[in-house]
Amino acid sequence: MSGAPGGQGAGTSSLGGTRARAERVFTGIGQLVTPAGPGAKRGAQQGELLELRDALMAVRGGRVTWLGPATAWDGVADDVIDLGDRAVVPGLVDAHTHLLWAGERYQDLDDRLSGVPYERILARGGGIRSTVRATAAAGRGALLAAARARLDDLIASGATTVEVKSGYGGTVEAEVASLEAIAELRTAAPVSVVPTLLIHLPDADDRAGHLRAVVERLIPEVAARHLAERIDVFVEREAFSVDEAERLLEAGRAVGLERTLHADQFHAIGGVELAVRLGARSVDHLEASGVEQIAVLAGGSTVATLLPGVSLELGLRGAPGRALVDAGVAVAVATDLNPGSSPLHSTSLALALSLRLNGLRPAEALVAGTVNAAAALGRADAGWLGVGARADFVVCAERDWRSLLHGLGGPGPIETWAAGRRVDRGAVIARDGHVAGDSVNGDSVNGGAA
Ligand code: NIG
Ligand code: FE
């Protein structure tokens, strides 16, 4: 850790005698730790954080307008909030989730514990395909209620920007319906929600016809209705080939969707190489990636997103996070929250696991779960704290920010603040207008539907 943001911001008394005016200032920040600014950090930079002790942060319109040593502030504020001498880090960015699903997969876990591999469960029509059936059978209300509860879990764990994928629809109509549900979730969410169209599995009975329908109907409709910002394809032996994925991703690019891939989860069949060749924003999983894939990633700009919950749940080797950082690849970490391969409802726990399963150092993991994840999502104003950034932050349980990643599921409680307002547990679930304390129940920061 080095340096300090220093006193910075829009106006102090030295500027024409006008004292800076904030809606709200935060004091009692024992330690503020943040990546230096927007943009993916790679190599040694991934381990660099700015640190400020006894800081003050001023906020107006949901953005940081001043950040520096508390003693240097001479502005005025409508509201002063004392954070109790605890550590503050940027709000976490969960860049890979599948949190819209119905039907739990408890039997899959029993089967896997009895020795049946995840891929065999999938190949015999279970796994992801069983979630597709359960999602199709669920009503929109039940689907959304479950998704809200999961988003609430992630927020309680420190997430203030959450990517949500479709992918349990399958057909054109069902994928559109999933993205409409995600748009509804987004409309009422007190945190930033980033929607992604995931083309998850081929149609076993009509592979060619399904691909054609996705390219000719689904992707154009999704783009025209702004139902997703990104397109994702699962490249794997049981899913799509590299050639099929290229066709799908190119169709997405042609209508303005950012590209990301699920690749090298079980087999390194070329998904990483495709992601780098196409200039995808991120390529996620990488449990099966080896030295060749690491070298390819080091030669490109694609962010490598690690999903340690999958390694834990499926007993896979952890993706080679240490080697990726050392090779100069920008690494992100996410939950991959889903009912099968990663039932992990905590973004901060995903970061904590990356220390144990991927070999990241605490500073590298924090960068992975903030600014690098924001870069993977194309969000320049998230994942760091400084003038102009969204006032999204986590108040840690202690004065040392490392408490967030040292414990596994604690120490708590932590507080999550989005756009300068506290987001209490239940903020996404309760939509009856009830506001507890300073919470922002049902108060969206996403500016309406996608
Ligand atoms: O990221 N690998 C493919 N898709 C998801 C798994 C989803 C599921 O098992 O339901 C993943 O691991
Ligand atoms: Fe996934």
Residue 324 has pLDDT above 60, yes or no: yes
Q: What is the pLDDT of residues 151-169, one digit of tens each?
A: 999 999 999 999 999 999 9
**Residue extent(s) of CATH 3.20.20.140 domains in the chain:** 93-376
* CA-closest candidate to residue 127, choices 265, 282, 245: 265
Residue 215 has pLDDT above 90, yes or no: yes
Nearest CA to ligand 1 atom 5: 341
Please state, in angstroms and rounded to a whole number, the distance separating the CA atoms of residues 98 and 386: 30
Residue 433 has pLDDT above 50, yes or no: no
- Using left for φ > 0, alpha for ψ between -120 and 50, and beta otherwise, residue 101 falls in beta
Give residue 443's pLDDT band: very low, low, confident or very high (50, 70, 90).
Answer: low
Q: Which helix (H) or strand (E) holds 332?
A: strand 331-333
The ligand with the least distance to the CA atom of 287 is 1
Residue 162 confidence (pLDDT): 98
Compute, in angstroms, the gap from residue 76 CA to the centroid of ligand 2. 46
Give residue 444's pLDDT band: very low, low, confident or very high (50, 70, 90).
Answer: confident
Q: Which atom of ligand 1 is nearest to the CA of 168?
A: 10
Q: What is the DSSP letter of 217?
A: I
Q: Which atom of ligand 1 is nearest to the CA of 342?
A: 12
Residues contacting residue 44 through CB under 8 Å, at least 6 positions apart: none
Please state, in angstroms and rounded to a whole number, the distance separating the CA atoms of residues 277 and 214: 22
Q: Is 131 in the pocket of ligand 1 (CB under 6 A)?
A: yes
SS3 category, 57: strand
Residue 329 has pLDDT above 90, yes or no: yes
User: What would the mean pLDDT of 311-331 be, rounded to a whole number?
Assistant: 98
Q: Which atom of ligand 1 is nearest to the CA of 284?
A: 1
Q: Which atom of ligand 1 is nearest to the CA of 336?
A: 1
Question: Taking the CB of residue 199, how many other CB atoms lie within 10 A of it?
Answer: 29
Please state, in angstroms and rounded to a whole number, the distance separating the CA atoms of residues 254 and 278: 12
Indicate if the alpha-carbon torsion angle 146, 105, 132, 262 is positive or negative: positive
Residue 224 confidence (pLDDT): 98
Tokens of 446: 């996403």
Q: What percent of the chain has pLDDT over 70?
A: 92
Q: Which atom of ligand 1 is nearest to the CA of 310?
A: 12
Residue 114 confidence (pLDDT): 96
* CA-closest candidate to residue 450, choices 149, 163, 154, 97: 163
Q: Is 335 in the pocket of ligand 1 (CB under 6 A)?
A: no
Q: Is 346 in the pocket of ligand 1 (CB under 6 A)?
A: no
- Taking CA atoms, 376 is separated from 21, 161, 283, 327, in Å, by 34, 12, 9, 18
Residue 1 confidence (pLDDT): 44
Residue 20 confidence (pLDDT): 85
Indicate if the alpha-carbon torsion angle 287, 293, 298, 304 is positive or negative: negative
Please state, in angstroms and rounded to a whole number, the distance separating the CA atoms of residues 342 and 128: 12
Residue 73 φ/ψ, nearest 5 degrees: -80, 130
* CA-closest candidate to residue 34, choices 64, 72, 76, 13: 64
Ligand 1 pocket: which of 98, 107, 164, 344 to mutate (most atoms <8 Å of CB)? 98
Q: Which residues pair with 165 in a beta bridge?
A: 196
Q: What is the pLDDT of residues 2-35, one digit of tens each?
A: 444 545 554 333 333 568 888 899 999 999 999 9
Residue 291 has pLDDT above 70, yes or no: yes
CATH topology of domain 21-90+383-419: Urease, subunit C; domain 1 (2.30.40)
Residue 189 has pLDDT above 60, yes or no: yes
Q: Is 229 in the pocket of ligand 1 (CB under 6 A)?
A: no
User: What would the mean pLDDT of 219-226 be, rounded to a whole number?
Assistant: 98
Q: Is 265 in the pocket of ligand 1 (CB under 6 A)?
A: yes
For the beta sheet containing 8-9, the strands, ordered from the edge strand earlier in sequence to the opposite edge, are 8-9, 63-69, 50-60, 21-34, 76-90, 393-395, 415-418, 421-422
Give residue 142's pLDDT band: very low, low, confident or very high (50, 70, 90).
Answer: very high
Cβ atoms of residues 427 and 440 within 8 Å:
yes
The ligand with the least distance to the CA atom of 196 is 2
Q: Is 336 in the pocket of ligand 1 (CB under 6 A)?
A: yes
Q: What CATH architecture is 93-376?
A: Alpha-Beta Barrel (3.20)
Mean pLDDT of the chain: 92
Residue 400 confidence (pLDDT): 97
Residue 412 has pLDDT above 70, yes or no: yes
Cβ atoms of residues 391 and 420 within 8 Å:
yes
Q: What percent of the chain has pLDDT over 90?
A: 87
User: What would the mean pLDDT of 72-86 be, rounded to a whole number?
Assistant: 96
Nearest CA to ligand 1 atom 3: 234
Tokens of 155: 């927020």
Q: What is the pLDDT of residues 91-124, one digit of tens each?
A: 999 999 999 999 999 999 999 999 999 999 999 9
Tell me what percent of the chain is helix, strand and coil, each rounded to the nearest 5. 35, 25, 45
Nearest CA to ligand 1 atom 8: 340
Q: Which atom of ligand 1 is nearest to the CA of 105?
A: 10
The ligand with the least distance to the CA atom of 119 is 1
The ligand with the least distance to the CA atom of 265 is 1
* CA-closest candidate to residue 64, choices 372, 358, 419, 342: 419
Number of alpha carbons in the 13 Å side-chain half-sphere of residue 243: 1
**Residue extent(s) of CATH 2.30.40.10 domains in the chain:** 21-90+383-419
Q: Is 24 in the pocket of ligand 1 (CB under 6 A)?
A: no
Q: Is 128 in the pocket of ligand 1 (CB under 6 A)?
A: yes
Residue 429 confidence (pLDDT): 81
Q: Is 338 in the pocket of ligand 1 (CB under 6 A)?
A: yes
Residues contacting residue 24 through CB under 8 Å, at least 6 positions apart: 58, 59, 60, 77, 78, 79, 80, 81, 420
Q: Which helix (H) or strand (E) holds 108?
A: helix 106-113
Compute, in angstroms, the gap from residue 127 CA to the centroid of ligand 1. 9
Q: Is 362 in the pocket of ligand 1 (CB under 6 A)?
A: no
Each as own residue / partner, the long-range contacts of residues 235-238 (CB below 8 Å, 24 or more positions apart, any chain) are: 235/261, 235/262, 235/263, 235/269, 235/270, 235/271, 235/274, 236/262, 236/263, 236/265, 236/266, 236/267, 236/269, 236/271, 237/119, 237/266, 237/267, 237/269, 238/119, 238/122, 238/123, 238/201
Beta-carbon neighbours within 5 Å of ion ligand 2: 336
Residue 3 confidence (pLDDT): 43
